[in-house]
Amino acid sequence: MTFQDIFKSSFLENITSVSILDMVIALVLAFGIGMFIFLVYKKTFSGVMYSSSFGVTLVALTMITTVVILAVTSNVVLSLGMVGALSIVRFRTAIKEPLDIAFLFWSIAAGIVLAAGMIPLAVIGSVIIGVILLVFVNKKSHVHPYIVVLQCEDHESELDAKEFLDKQVDRCIVKSKTAQKGLVELNLEIRLKDDNTDFINELAEMDGVTSAVLVSYNGDYMN
């Protein structure tokens, strides 16, 4: 048998299409799982600017992937053409949060598994993934790193402030230090013992300390 024999009309006539009922069930389930992914994304979002359009994209991506895989599994010729078409698609949108990549792959994987007819795997797998993300992402805030921007008048007040911080937090590391005449500025990475941040008020009232700022540190430190 040659390669041309595979694509004879007799072969194409035997290709079965997806029924209306299968399409409706698959799309309804894809919408439900997509909404679940969107809700998990909304609950676990920890960035600076929340984008509702990205959440809608997760729902749409789940449904679109389901439609594409349904078409591919029902028509061999279409699947070959779609492989060539999708190979030239390029996405230029920058993904700022690493966790967003996981949500994108989750939406695509859920759509593929649903269209393949593995409904229990899609539903149970999505629930387990969602629970894991909710547990690990929404952990207590005091384990997150913070940056203290501290301005002191001289070296002596700097030492006093640093000693005070060491007693109030679990961990204190100097990230950068700028020294000018009459001014010393420190950027310190700290780990809080609990959710209480009142120590920053006491720090700002110390003699020789002109300013004390506490900010959340997401790892994208810029000079």
Domain with residue 207: its CATH number is: 3.30.70.260
Q: Is residue 67 assigned to a domain?
A: yes
Residue 21 in this model has a pLDDT that exceeds 50: yes
Q: Which of 170, 173, 161, 172 is nearest to 200 (CA)?
A: 161
Domain boundary among 85, 108, 137: 137
Q: In a 3-state reduction of DSSP, which class is residue 55? A: helix
For residue range 45-75, list pLDDT tens digits in order: 876 677 788 888 899 999 988 888 887 776 6
What range does the domain containing 192 cover? 141-216
Where is 177: in which H helix or E strand?
strand 169-180
166 and 89 within one domain: no
Phi, psi dihedral angles at 150 (to 5 degrees)? -120, 130
The residues near 208 (Cβ < 8 Å, ≥ 6 apart) are 152, 153, 154, 156, 157, 158, 160, 161
Under 8 Å between Cβ of 174 and 167: no
Q: Is residue 208 assigned to a domain?
A: yes
13 and 111 within one domain: yes
203 and 118 within one domain: no
108 and 28 within one domain: yes
Q: Which pLDDT does position 196 carry in this prediction?
A: 81
The residues near 78 (Cβ < 8 Å, ≥ 6 apart) are 71, 72
Residue 223 in this model has a pLDDT that exceeds 60: no
How would DSSP label each residue in 86-104? HTT--------SHHHHHHH
- Report the C-alpha gap between 48 and 117 in whole angstroms: 38
Helices (H), 116-154: 119-137
Under 8 Å between Cβ of 185 and 149: yes
Domain count along the chain:
2
Q: Is residue 9 assigned to a domain?
A: yes
Under 8 Å between Cβ of 75 and 17: yes
Q: Is residue 221 assigned to a domain?
A: no
For residue range 128-147, list pLDDT tens digits in order: 999 999 888 776 555 678 88
What six digits make up the tokens of 163? 């000693």
Give the residue with greater pLDDT, 44 vs 48: 44
194 and 112 within one domain: no
Instruction: Give the global pTM.
Output: 0.63
69 and 132 within one domain: yes
22 and 51 within one domain: yes
Residue 80 in this model has a pLDDT that exceeds 70: no
205 and 132 within one domain: no
pLDDT above 70 coverage of the chain, percent: 75
Q: Is residue 222 assigned to a domain?
A: no
93 and 63 within one domain: yes
139 half-sphere exposure, CB direction, 13 A CA radius? 9
Q: Which pLDDT does position 98 carry in this prediction?
A: 78
Q: How many CB atoms lie within 10 A of CB 76?
A: 13
Domain boundary among 137, 153, 176: 137
15 and 70 within one domain: yes
Domain boundary among 91, 115, 137: 137
115 and 49 within one domain: yes
120 and 26 within one domain: yes
Q: Is residue 71 assigned to a domain?
A: yes
For residue range 28-41, list pLDDT tens digits in order: 999 999 999 999 99
- Report the C-alpha gap between 26 and 28 in whole angstroms: 6
- How many residues in total does the chain contain? 223
Scan for tokens 């929404």, then name that residue.
Answer: 138
